[in-house]
Amino acid sequence: MSIDLNGLSAKELTTLISQAKKQQTKLAKRRPVGTIRKQINAFLKKEGYTVAEVFGSAGKAPARAARKAATTKKPRKLGKVAPKYRNPANPKETWTGRGKQPRWMAALTAKGKKKEDFLIKRK
């Protein structure tokens, strides 16, 4: 958090300092997090629970863990697609018709040829 102190009046600065001191006093009165964590763990152990049972695995909330598990699915694998077009100048260059047009086809279609002229004839 960043506050531009240059634009504040004397009264606004006094109010800000007062609020900051109140917050500092409030935070100073709190017990350390480690102490609270130990108390929570001791209470859960006494009642027969584990942190994972109450808060989900690794201390995460169950909804968050479920949402993360849903987003880490493996991507769907697509099968290979047979080539649909062939470069007449170099028969090794083919294109399935998916994705960006290859340079050889773009150059030839710019000269007036049609995509259908490069279709691979199926038997």
Write down the pLDDT at residue 59.
46
SS3 19: helix
40 is written with which tokens?
């929570």
Write down the pLDDT at residue 7.
84
- Amino acid identity, position 116: E
Q: Which residues contact 115 (CB under 8 A, 6 or more apart)?
A: 85, 105, 109
Beta-bridge mates of residue 85: 95, 119
Sketch the domain layout of the chain as residue ranges. 10-71, 85-118
Helix (H) or strand (E) holding 95: strand 94-95
Write down the pLDDT at residue 23.
92
Write down the pLDDT at residue 46.
92
Write down the pLDDT at residue 58.
57
9 is written with which tokens?
């009046």
pLDDT in single tens digits along all 123 residues of the chain: 678 888 888 999 999 999 999 999 998 888 888 899 999 989 999 999 888 888 886 545 556 666 666 666 777 787 888 999 999 999 999 999 999 999 999 999 999 999 999 999 887
How far apart CA 54 and CA 27 sit, in angstroms, is: 27
